[in-house]
Structure 1
Amino acid sequence: MERTPKITQAMIDAYDEYTHLSLDRRRFMARLTALAGSAAGAAAIAPLLAANSASAQMVAEGDSRLTTEEVSFAAPKGQMKGYIAWPKDAQGQLGGVVVIHENRGLNPHIRDVARRMALEGFVALAPDFLSPDGGTPADEDKAREMIGNLDREATVDNAVATVSYLSKLDRVNGKVGAVGFCWGGGLVNQLAVADPNLNAAVAYYGAQPPAEAVPNIKAAVMLHYAGLDQRINAGIDAYRKALEDNGKTFEIFIYDGVNHAFNNDTSAARYDKAAAELAWKRTVEFLKKNLA
Structure 2
Amino acid sequence: MQKLKKEDINQEVFDLYDDYAHNKIDRKEFIKRLSLYAVGAITLPALLSFISPNYEDSIVVKLDDPKLKNETISYESPKGGKVIKGQLSILNDTTEKLPGVIVVHENRGLNPYIKDVGRRTALEGFIALAPDALSPMGGYPGNDDKGREMQRKRDQTEMLEDFIAGYNYLKNHKDCNGKVAVVGFCFGGWISNMMAVRIPELAAAVPYYGRQPKKEDAAKIKAPLLLQYAGLDKRVNAGWPDFETVLKANNIEHEAHFYPEVNHGFHNNTTPRYDEESADLSWERTIAFFNKHLKG
- TM class by shorter chain equals over 0.9
**Counterpart mapping for 1:1-292 below 5 A:** 4=4, 6-37=8-39, 41-77=43-79, 78-267=82-271, 269-292=272-295
1:174 partner amino acid: G
1:238 partner amino acid: D
1:153 partner amino acid: T
Q: Deviations over 1:250-284 (max 9, x none)?
A: 110000010000000010x2100000000000000
Q: CA deviation at 1:19?
A: 1.0
- Comparing 230-239 with 14-23, greater Cα deviation is found at 14-23
Q: CA deviation at 1:146?
A: 1.8
Between Structure 1 and Structure 2, how many residues are aligned?
291
Q: Normalising by the residue count of structure 1, what TM-score does the alignment of the two structures yield?
A: 0.96
Q: Deviations over 1:209-265 (max 9, x none)?
A: 111111221111111000001111111111111111111011100000100000000
> How far apart, in 2, do the equivalents of 1:215 and 1:2 lie?
51
2:47 partner amino acid: I
Q: Deviations over 1:66-124 (max 9, x none)?
A: 11110001120221100010111123111100000111210111111111000000000
> How far apart, in 1, do the equivalents of 2:43 and 2:191 lie?
36
Q: CA deviation at 1:36?
A: 2.4
Q: CA deviation at 1:149?
A: 2.4
Q: Normalising by the residue count of structure 2, what TM-score does the alignment of the two structures yield?
A: 0.94
SS in 1 for 2:142: coil
1:226 partner amino acid: A
| 1:207 to 1:45, Cα distance in 2 relative to 1, 3 A | same
SS in 1 for 2:264: coil
Q: Deviations over 1:47-84 (max 9, x none)?
A: 22121122231111111101111000112022110001
| 1:15 to 1:39, Cα distance in 2 relative to 1, 3 A | farther
> How far apart, in 2, do the equivalents of 1:195 and 1:147 lie?
24
SS in 1 for 2:219: helix
* Structure 1 residue ranges (4+ consecutive) displaced by more than 3 angstroms after TM superposition: none
Contact 2:16 2:30 in 1 (8 A): yes
> How far apart, in 2, do the equivalents of 1:287 and 1:216 lie?
21
Contact 1:72 1:79 in 2 (8 A): yes
2:78 partner amino acid: P
1:125 partner amino acid: L
Contact 2:2 2:42 in 1 (8 A): no
> How far apart, in 2, do the equivalents of 1:127 and 1:3 lie?
35
Q: Deviations over 1:144-175 (max 9, x none)?
A: 12222221221111111110000011111100
Q: Percent identity?
A: 44
- Comparing 134-143 with 39-48, greater Cα deviation is found at 39-48
> How far apart, in 1, do the equivalents of 2:236 and 2:3 lie?
33
> How far apart, in 1, do the equivalents of 2:64 and 2:101 lie?
20
> How far apart, in 1, do the equivalents of 2:214 and 2:238 lie?
13
> How far apart, in 1, do the equivalents of 2:28 and 2:246 lie?
40
